[in-house]
């Protein structure tokens, strides 16, 4: 097991380039197997989730080649193999192979997926969507067996605007007979990116980015080239890093309108920024930062993936800030870890109060999930002394080369094997 040791107290300065979007990449790759020829995706991030997913595709006899940030996926010889090995447990997004395999072969046999524990995350909306298209579902020994004689378009209303369910239904519906309508669909930028890829492959889809997506099924899909969007969560994390411990940091390869909710909160706190077409410059942390209240919402509201990193900045605000988590009410594993470093965070059911400003101190902490790990990195950069962060595998799942990027800005970081 690896750990990261960070020496705090160093002011960061310079330029950082954001990688491709993790939450898009883990859906783009399963989508590619719906094609009958090679799909090339550029901008792929260097994260462990991509390696896990590539290995799952290799189990399906898919030819995968990766060079730098370009991934070539050739599904010509794809076989509908049962995905029941432990490797499925390592990746929450492995469930996208349900929709992709069901769409391509009318059958998917796959074990329950893993990933970070953020409280209950059922996939009932995914399964209801498959059933609405004509599939039958059996669950036995922790394995889903999903079959259909024929997939037929239908109108599907999602009780919750789930990103995962929206994508999975899209993947199953693009080759179904007739028209499928997804009502109350998720609007995240990652949805638009998936639809852009599928459209290049020959799919007929309208309404991506709205709450109503219309899919007219086609018989075949072909290969294409696709350049994916930058990671708005990584970009948001670096905006928070720059606001917390930076002097002047330029963050490049960023789509600012994907981050309007975070940017507005940073401005409310008192952070100065220059926002340009594809980059943002954040200027050094000011004194007398103002406390704010944050409530996570589905996009375009404040992203649940950014509330944990933002909490660290809130420990430096003068007064009491509140974070209300409406997506994953149990997503507060970072609070106990930050309190070990000197923060004053009062955790309640589905929310927390952060009392500031407080001085943070280096100690031994544990990343309980991916974004908790990001929060601990920011806290360690801010703290007096050295901080040892364990369970680094969580961080590596979603942040590409974060050690190198931070070191290039002036951070003092060392990675060790325990």
Binding-site residue set for phosphoenolpyruvate: 22-23
- Taking Cα atoms as reference points, which of 353, 357, 333 lies closest to residue 345? 353
CB-based contact 264:53 (threshold 8 Å) = no
> What Rg, from alpha-carbon coordinates, does the chain have?
21
Q: Collect all residues with Cβ–Cβ distance below 8 Å to 170 and sequence separation of at least 6.
A: 99, 182, 191, 194, 195, 198, 205, 213, 215
Which 3 state secondary structure label does DSSP give 158? coil
**116 catalytic residue (yes or no):** yes
Q: Which residue has the tokens 């004689």?
A: 149
Catalytic residue among 62, 116, 352, 372: 116
Which 3 state secondary structure label does DSSP give 229? coil
Dist CA 85 CA 78 (whole Å): 18
The token duo for 416 is 């060790």
Q: Which residue has the tokens 């997804």?
A: 182
CB-based contact 174:203 (threshold 8 Å) = yes
- Alpha carbon 163 to its chain's center: 10
Dist CA 73 CA 415 (whole Å): 32
Which 3 state secondary structure label does DSSP give 147? strand
Residues at the annotated binding site for UDP-N-acetyl-alpha-D-glucosamine? 92, 121-125, 305, 327
Beta strands per DSSP E along 225-276: 225-227, 246-252, 273-275
Which 3 state secondary structure label does DSSP give 334? helix
The token duo for 215 is 């899919």
The token duo for 179 is 């028209």
How many Cα atoms within 13 Å fall on the side-chain side of residue 117? Answer: 4
- Alpha carbon 154 to its chain's center: 29
The most distant pair of C-alpha atoms in the chain lies apart, rounded to whole Å, by 65
Q: Which residue has the tokens 């750990």?
A: 3
Number of H helices, E strands in the chain: 13, 23
Q: Which residues are catalytic?
A: 116
């Amino acid at each position: 097991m690896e750990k990261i040791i960070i020496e705090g107290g160093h002011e960061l300065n310079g330029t950082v380039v954001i990688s491709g979007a993790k939450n898009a990449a883990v859906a783009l790759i399963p989508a590619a197997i719906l094609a009958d020829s090679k799909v090339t995706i550029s901008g792929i991030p260097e994260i462990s989730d991509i390696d896990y997913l590539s290995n799952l595709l290799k189990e399906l006899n898919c030819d995968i080649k990766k060079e730098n940030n370009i991934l070539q996926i050739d599904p010509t010889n794809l076989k509908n193999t049962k995905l029941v090995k432990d490797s499925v447990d390592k990746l929450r997004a492995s469930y996208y192979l349900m929709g992709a395999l069901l769409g391509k072969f009318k059958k998917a046999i796959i074990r329950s997926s893993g990933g970070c524990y953020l409280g209950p995350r059922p996939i009932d909306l995914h399964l209801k969507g498959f059933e609405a298209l004509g599939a039958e579902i059996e669950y036995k020994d922790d394995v889903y067996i999903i079959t259909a004689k024929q997939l037929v378009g239908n109108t599907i209303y999602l009780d919750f605007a789930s990103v995962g369910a929206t994508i999975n239904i899209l993947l199953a519906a693009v080759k179904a007979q007739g028209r499928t309508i997804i009502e109350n669909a998720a609007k995240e930028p990652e949805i638009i990116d998936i639809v852009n890829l599928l459209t290049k492959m020959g799919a007929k889809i309208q309404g991506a980015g709205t709450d109503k997506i219309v899919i007219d099924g086609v018989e075949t899909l072909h290969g294409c080239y696709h350049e994916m969007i930058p990671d708005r969560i990584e970009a948001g994390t670096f905006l928070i890093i720059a606001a917390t411990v930076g002097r002047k940091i330029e963050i490049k390869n960023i789509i600012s309108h994907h981050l309007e909710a975070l940017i507005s909160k940073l401005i409310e706190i008192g952070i100065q920024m220059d926002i340009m077409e594809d980059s943002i410059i954040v200027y050094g942390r000011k004194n007398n930062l103002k406390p704010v209240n944050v409530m996570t919402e589905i996009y375009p509201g404040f992203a649940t993936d950014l509330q944990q990193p933002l909490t660290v900045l809130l420990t430096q605000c003068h007064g009491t800030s509140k974070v209300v988590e409406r997506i994953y009410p149990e997503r507060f594993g970072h609070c106990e870890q930050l309190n070990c470093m000197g923060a004053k965070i009062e955790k309640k059911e589905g929310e927390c109060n952060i009392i500031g400003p407080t001085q943070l101190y280096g100690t031994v902490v544990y990343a309980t999930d991916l974004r908790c790990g990001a929060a601990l990195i920011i806290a360690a950069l801010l703290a007096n002394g050295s901080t040892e962060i364990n369970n680094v595998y969580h961080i590596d799942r979603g942040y590409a080369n974060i050690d190198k990027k931070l070191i290039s800005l002036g951070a003092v970081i060392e990675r060790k094997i325990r």
